[in-house]
Amino acid sequence: MKIIIEKIEKYLEGELQSEQKEFEALLDKDEDLKKLVALNREIDAAIAQKEVMALRTQLEKIADKYQKHKPIVRKLSTNKLTWIATAAAITAFAVSFLIFQGNNSNQQIFDTYYSSFQNFETVRGLPASSSAYNEGIASFKQNEYNKAIRSFENILLLEPDNNLVRLYSAMAYLETDNTNNAIEHLNIIIESQDVFYLEHAQWYLGLAYIKSGKTSDAKRILENIVNNDSFYASEAKKVLKKL
C-alpha cells in the first residue's frame, strides 16, 4: 500500500519521470488503481476546505446552544416565565445602566463576540494523557471551568507543547474571569506559531485584551488578524469598528 500511495502522489505531482508512461498504462487497465487515484485527488480537495471544516464546528456549536436552550424554556410554566422575564428585564436594565455609566463597553463587545472554541474531534490525535483530556473537556462542556482548568493544567505540566489543551485552558480562564492567565496561555500559543491554533489564539487574545480593558493591545492584534485575512478577519473588522 505504501509504495502505491507514494507512486500515486508522485504521479499527481508529475514527478514519476521515466515511470510516468508505465503508470498511465497501468491506470488504464486497473480499475482499483483508478479509484485510488480519484480518492487521493478528492481527499486533497477535501483537506483544502479549511473554511468548511471550521464552519461545521461553528454550526455544531450554534445548534448545540439552540437544542440545549429550547427544551428548558418549554418545560417552564407561564408563571415562572413571567418571573424570569421580569428578572431578565431588571438584570438587562441594571447591566445596561452599568455599561453606560462606566467605560464598560469593552465587556459588552467581549460578550457579543466571545464564544468558546470547541473542536472535540481531535481527541484521538492526542498522546497518553487523553483520559485527563477527556475529563477536562467533559468538565468544560458542563461549564465546570475550574475543574477543567485543573485537568488541563495537569496535562500542560507533562505536555507543554499541547496547544489544543492550552487553548481550552485559556478559554476556561476567560470563562472564570482570570483574564491574565488566559492572556499568558494565548501568547504562548502565538509564540509557538502553531498553524492549527494560531488564528484562534490571536482572535481570543484580541478579545481577552478587550475584556481586560487593554484596548490598544486589542486593536494591534485585531488589525493583524484583518491584515493577514485570517479566519476571524470579518469578525475582527466588526470589533475594530466598535473600539
Partner 1 sequence: MKQKTDEEILKGILERDNAIFNYIYENLYNQVKYMIVSNSGSDEEAQDVFQEALIVIYNKLVNKELELYCTFKTYLYSVSRLMWLKQLEKKKYKSEEIYDENMTDLRVDDKNILDQIETNERFRLYQKYFKQLNEDCRKVLELFINKVPLREIAEIMGYSSEKYAKKRKYICKEILINNIQKDPKYKELQK
Q: Which parts of this chain interact with partner 1 (CB under 8 A)?
A: 1-2, 5-6, 9, 35-36, 39-40, 42-56, 58-60, 62-63, 66-67, 115, 119, 121-122, 124-125, 164, 195-196, 234-235
Q: Which is nearer to partner 1, 6 or 146 (CB)?
A: 6
> Alpha-carbon distance 50 to 166, whole Å?
21
Question: Shortest approach of partner 1 to residue 44 CB, angstroms?
Answer: 6
> Alpha-carbon distance 115 to 79, whole Å?
31
Question: Shortest approach of partner 1 to residue 6 CB, angstroms?
Answer: 5
Q: Which is nearer to partner 1, 7 or 181 (CB)?
A: 7
Question: Shortest approach of partner 1 to residue 83 CB, angstroms?
Answer: 23
Q: Which is nearer to partner 1, 78 or 125 (CB)?
A: 125
Q: Identify whether the C-beta of residue 164 lies closer than 8 Å to the C-beta of residue 136.
A: no
Q: Identify whether the C-beta of residue 87 lies closer than 8 Å to the C-beta of residue 80.
A: no
| C-alpha 210: how far from chain center | 19
Question: Shortest approach of partner 1 to residue 241 CB, angstroms?
Answer: 14
> Alpha-carbon distance 66 to 57, whole Å?
14
> Alpha-carbon distance 47 to 24, whole Å?
25
